[in-house]
Amino acid sequence: MHRLSVLVSAGLLVGFATGCQPPVSEHPCGGTTTAAAYGAFTPRLADGTIRTTPAGMVIEGKALGVKVLRAEQDITSTVVPERKAFDDAGIATLLTIRNDPQRGPDGRPTVYPPNTPDELATFRTDLEASLKANPPCLVAVENEEVGSPFVSGTTADYIGELKAAIDVGHKLGIPVTNGGIVSGVTALLTWHDLFLTEGKPAADDFARRAFVRPNQTKLLNNLLASADATVPPGPIHDNLAAGEELIASYRTLPLDYVNFHWYIDDDEALTQAVTYLRKATGKQVVTHEMGQYDTNPATVTGHLATLDRLDLPIIIWFDADGNPAFGLHDEPGHLRPSGTAYRTYVDGH
Domain coordinates of the chain in residue numbers?
3-182+258-347
Euclidean distance between CA atoms 25 and 20, whole angstroms: 11
pLDDT per residue as tens digits for the range 185-199: 999 999 999 999 999
How much is the mean pLDDT over the chain?
Answer: 86
Q: Report the SS3 class of residue 289.
A: strand
Pairing of strands 92-98, 68-74: parallel
Compute and round to an integer the Cα radius of gyration of the chain: 19
Tally of CB atoms within 10 A around 120: 17
HSE of 51 in the Cβ direction (CA atoms, 13 Å)?
Answer: 24
pLDDT per residue as tens digits for the range 253-291: 999 999 999 999 999 999 999 999 999 999 998 887 889
Q: What percent of the chain has pLDDT over 90?
A: 63
Report the pLDDT value the prediction gives residue 246, as an integer from 0 to 100.
Answer: 98
181-202: b (≥16 Cβ within 10 Å) or e: bbbbbbbbbbbbbbbeeeebee
Q: 44 in the Ramachandran plot: left (φ > 0), alpha (ψ -120 to 50) or beta?
A: beta
The reported pTM is 0.90
Q: 114 in the Ramachandran plot: left (φ > 0), alpha (ψ -120 to 50) or beta?
A: beta
Q: Please compute the mean of the pLDDT values over residues 90-116 and round it to a whole number.
A: 89
pLDDT per residue as tens digits for the range 118-139: 999 999 999 999 999 999 988 9
Q: How far is CA 245 from each of CA 130, 154, 156, rounded to the nearest angstrom?
A: 29, 11, 9
Report the pLDDT value the prediction gives residue 10, as an integer from 0 to 100.
Answer: 38
**In this structure, are residues 59 and 9 in contact, taking their beta carbons and an 8 Å threshold?**
no
pLDDT at 99 over 80: yes
Q: How far is CA 195 from each of CA 204, 222, 230, rounded to the nearest angstrom?
A: 8, 14, 10
Euclidean distance between CA atoms 285 and 230, whole angstroms: 26
pLDDT per residue as tens digits for the range 231-245: 999 999 999 999 999
pLDDT at 32 over 50: no
pLDDT per residue as tens digits for the range 313-325: 777 788 888 889 9
Report the pLDDT value the prediction gives residue 6, as an integer from 0 to 100.
Answer: 46
What does DSSP assign to residue 149? S
Euclidean distance between CA atoms 204 and 68, whole angstroms: 39
Report the pLDDT value the prediction gives residue 14, as an integer from 0 to 100.
Answer: 44
Q: Is 274 exposed, middle or buried, given 0-12, 13-18 or 19+ CB atoms closer than 10 A? A: buried
CATH topology of domain 3-182+258-347: TIM Barrel (3.20.20)
pLDDT per residue as tens digits for the range 50-73: 778 899 888 888 887 777 788 899
pLDDT per residue as tens digits for the range 139-177: 999 999 999 999 999 999 999 999 999 999 999 999 999
